[in-house]
Amino acid sequence: NAGVTQTPKFRILKIGQSMTLQCTQDMNHNYMYWYRQDPGMGLKLIYYSVGAGITDKGEVPNGYNVSRSTTEDFPLRLELAAPSQTSVYFCASKRIAGGAETQYFGPGTRLLVL
Protein backbone atom coordinates (compact mmCIF):
# COMPACT_ATOMS: atom_id res chain seq x y z
CA ASN A 1 0.00 0.00 0.00
CA ALA A 2 1.20 3.48 -0.86
CA GLY A 3 -0.91 4.91 2.00
CA VAL A 4 -1.88 8.55 1.58
CA THR A 5 -0.31 10.34 -1.37
CA GLN A 6 -0.43 14.05 -2.15
CA THR A 7 0.47 16.01 -5.25
CA PRO A 8 2.14 18.35 -5.88
CA LYS A 9 4.87 18.47 -3.22
CA PHE A 10 5.46 22.18 -3.75
CA ARG A 11 3.75 24.92 -5.70
CA ILE A 12 4.06 28.68 -6.13
CA LEU A 13 0.87 30.54 -7.01
CA LYS A 14 0.19 34.12 -7.90
CA ILE A 15 -2.54 35.99 -6.06
CA GLY A 16 -5.90 35.25 -7.65
CA GLN A 17 -4.85 32.02 -9.32
CA SER A 18 -6.63 28.77 -8.60
CA MET A 19 -5.38 25.24 -8.10
CA THR A 20 -6.37 21.81 -6.85
CA LEU A 21 -4.37 19.86 -4.30
CA GLN A 22 -4.73 16.16 -4.89
CA CYS A 23 -5.05 13.52 -2.21
CA THR A 24 -5.44 9.78 -2.74
CA GLN A 25 -5.51 6.88 -0.31
CA ASP A 26 -5.42 3.19 -1.16
CA MET A 27 -6.43 1.81 2.23
CA ASN A 28 -10.19 1.89 1.58
CA HIS A 29 -10.64 4.39 4.39
CA ASN A 30 -14.01 6.08 4.74
CA TYR A 31 -12.82 9.20 6.56
CA MET A 32 -10.58 11.77 4.92
CA TYR A 33 -9.33 15.16 6.13
CA TRP A 34 -7.56 18.28 4.94
CA TYR A 35 -5.40 20.29 7.34
CA ARG A 36 -3.20 23.33 6.98
CA GLN A 37 -0.10 24.04 9.04
CA ASP A 38 1.16 27.59 9.26
CA PRO A 39 4.77 28.23 10.34
CA GLY A 40 5.31 27.50 14.02
CA MET A 41 1.74 26.32 14.51
CA GLY A 42 -0.17 23.11 14.86
CA LEU A 43 -2.47 21.72 12.19
CA LYS A 44 -5.92 23.20 11.65
CA LEU A 45 -8.76 21.28 10.05
CA ILE A 46 -10.09 22.75 6.80
CA TYR A 47 -12.63 20.15 5.63
CA TYR A 48 -13.34 16.50 6.20
CA SER A 49 -15.40 13.74 4.62
CA VAL A 50 -17.04 10.69 6.17
CA GLY A 51 -17.57 8.95 2.85
CA ALA A 52 -18.10 9.45 -0.85
CA GLY A 53 -20.51 12.32 -1.47
CA ILE A 54 -20.38 13.64 2.11
CA THR A 55 -18.22 16.55 3.23
CA ASP A 56 -18.26 18.94 6.18
CA LYS A 57 -16.47 22.09 7.26
CA GLY A 58 -13.68 22.13 9.77
CA GLU A 59 -12.16 25.00 11.68
CA VAL A 60 -10.85 27.11 8.76
CA PRO A 61 -12.89 26.37 5.58
CA ASN A 62 -13.05 29.86 4.08
CA GLY A 63 -11.35 30.12 0.69
CA TYR A 64 -11.46 26.38 0.04
CA ASN A 65 -13.75 23.82 -1.53
CA VAL A 66 -13.72 20.04 -1.51
CA SER A 67 -15.47 17.17 -3.20
CA ARG A 68 -15.53 13.43 -2.61
CA SER A 69 -16.76 11.53 -5.61
CA THR A 70 -14.85 8.33 -4.79
CA THR A 71 -13.63 6.63 -1.63
CA GLU A 72 -10.01 7.04 -2.72
CA ASP A 73 -9.81 10.71 -3.71
CA PHE A 74 -10.39 13.92 -1.76
CA PRO A 75 -9.18 16.98 -3.71
CA LEU A 76 -8.91 20.43 -2.14
CA ARG A 77 -9.67 23.40 -4.37
CA LEU A 78 -8.38 26.96 -3.92
CA GLU A 79 -10.36 29.28 -6.18
CA LEU A 80 -8.75 32.71 -5.64
CA ALA A 81 -5.39 32.25 -3.97
CA ALA A 82 -4.44 34.78 -1.31
CA PRO A 83 -1.14 35.27 0.58
CA SER A 84 -2.93 34.11 3.74
CA GLN A 85 -3.21 30.67 2.16
CA THR A 86 0.55 30.23 2.14
CA SER A 87 0.93 27.12 4.25
CA VAL A 88 1.70 23.41 4.27
CA TYR A 89 -1.35 21.29 3.52
CA PHE A 90 -1.78 17.79 4.86
CA CYS A 91 -4.30 15.19 3.84
CA ALA A 92 -5.17 12.35 6.21
CA SER A 93 -7.45 9.33 6.29
CA LYS A 94 -8.75 6.72 8.66
CA ARG A 95 -10.98 3.69 8.42
CA ILE A 96 -13.90 4.54 10.70
CA ALA A 97 -15.10 7.18 13.11
CA GLY A 98 -13.75 7.82 16.56
CA GLY A 99 -10.52 8.66 18.33
CA ALA A 100 -9.54 5.02 18.73
CA GLU A 101 -8.76 4.90 15.03
CA THR A 102 -5.40 6.21 13.81
CA GLN A 103 -5.33 8.97 11.23
CA TYR A 104 -2.74 8.31 8.54
CA PHE A 105 -1.16 11.44 7.11
CA GLY A 106 0.23 12.19 3.69
CA PRO A 107 3.63 13.86 3.20
CA GLY A 108 2.16 17.35 2.71
CA THR A 109 2.01 19.98 -0.03
CA ARG A 110 3.87 23.23 0.49
CA LEU A 111 2.05 26.16 -1.09
CA LEU A 112 3.47 29.64 -1.51
CA VAL A 113 1.16 32.44 -2.69
CA LEU A 114 2.92 35.57 -3.95
Amino acid symbol at 21: L
Burial of 61 from C-beta contacts in 10 A (0-12 / 13-18 / 19+): middle
Interface segment toward another protein; rule CB under 8 A; list 21-29, 61-69, 70-78, 97-105: 97-105
> Rounded CA gap, 47 and 69, in Å?
15
Shorter beta-carbon distance to another protein: residue 17 or 50: 50
* Nearest 10 degrees: Cα torsion 9, 61, 63, 30: 50
Among 1, 2, 14, 41, binds another protein (CB under 8 A): 41
Of 17 and 38, the one with the shorter C-beta distance to another protein is: 38
Binding site for another protein (CB under 8 A): 31, 33, 40-45, 48, 50, 58-59, 88, 90, 92, 97-100, 102-103, 105, 107-108
